[in-house]
Amino acid sequence: MHEPGAETRGAGLAVTRLLGEVERFADHLHDGRGLSDHTVRSYGADLDSLVAFAEHRLGRPGEVGDLDLDLLRDWLWQGTQAGLARATLARRSASVRAFTRWLDETDRMPIDVGARLRAPKPESRLPRVLTREQVDGLLASLAVRADTGDPGARRDLAVVELLYGAGLRVSELVGADLGDVDLDRLTVRVTGKGAKQRVVPFGVPAAEALGRYLELARPTLATPVTDAAFFVGATGGRLGTRAVYRLVAGLLADLPGGGPAGPHALRHTAATHLLDGGADLRAVQELLGHASLGTTQIYTHVSTDRLRDSYRSAHPRA
């Protein structure tokens, strides 16, 4: 009997198939480290690309023993020649380094062959941030739709108010249950990256929109299959991330400004507006659920750039 992932080749030599170890690594990320399905799929897509590259190079199924630094570098170089963005190459490098480190730590590989792998640093791009006037206009347009009494419109207003008011990730918003939202304390309990929970405050306008949604819209949207999900989709199930993306992308499509037009733009906007208003950087870090303060510091650059632009347009000696 062979160990999981092992097969025999040649004169009875046991080898470990690369594809099988990628699948076990994905299980480790999901079950052992508690990473989200989306993150695990991203790792898997990168490593599946590596497996395909290795098998094409070798002309046979790849084995763990085939991995070496030259193979990994050639794989990244192929991506460069294919025109992949530097951010994609950096992510691929990080994925394979995590994989080879796990192979080493679990004694599936004698040394960590990916430890020295490097990729181009991703381009530094500031996130898209809306002005306060744009946010006000966006919410006002949603409020007009909600005032027609349409349940979906009431839900959409509550979704956008909470995304901006609490600076949530879209996965955190759609994952919230009825018991997670406290309209008296103006807080929502969310589960962020790494299955870490935190309690986030929101403001009175968001509370009002959420209250009207709960009272006037959710009972209409709910069906016998509806569970404890706070936000309900068109078919009665939990509101999905794609639906939220479509909603926000449609709202931002006609607004000036570059960068992605998804729900994360509202999270970026909330963080920047907090810092513009004098909030402490560490308080913003805690609100956003960032593990590293360095991740939050990008918003200080956004605030500085906005201040510089305002200075240049308004100061007579600029």
Residue matched to tokens 């949603």: 142
Strands 6-9 and 197-201: unpaired
- Respond yes or no: is residue 33 known to be catalytic: no
**Cα–Cα distance, 151 to 100 (Å, whole number):** 50
First and final C-alpha spacing in the chain: 77
Q: Which amino acid is at 253?
A: A
SS3 189: strand
Residues whose CB falls within 8 Å of the CB of residue 90, separated by 6 or more in sequence, listed in order: 119, 120, 121, 122
Known catalytic membership, residue 299: yes
The one catalytic residue among 193, 198, 212, 306: 193
Q: Catalytic: 145?
A: no
Q: Could you tell me which of 156, 211, 159, 152 has the C-alpha nearest to residue 182?
A: 211
Do the beta carbons of residue 266 and residue 160 sit within 8 Å? Answer: yes
Q: Which of 299, 306, 312, 317 is catalytic?
A: 299
Q: Is 169 a catalytic residue?
A: yes
Whether residue 212 lies in the annotated active site: no
Q: Quick check: is 196 catalytic?
A: no
From the candidates 91, 154, 264, 273, which is the catalytic residue?
264
Instruction: Calculate the dihedral angle through the C-alpha atoms of 39, 41, 44, 48, rounding to the nearest 10 degrees.
Output: -140
Sign of CA dihedral 250, 252, 255, 256: negative
- Are the C-beta atoms of 40 and 194 separated by less than 8 Å? no
For residue 19 the two structure tokens come to 């594809």
Residue among 136, 270, 161 at smallest CA distance from 212: 161
Choosing from 169, 218, 268, 273, the catalytic residue is 169
Which residues are annotated as catalytic? 169, 193, 264, 267, 290, 299
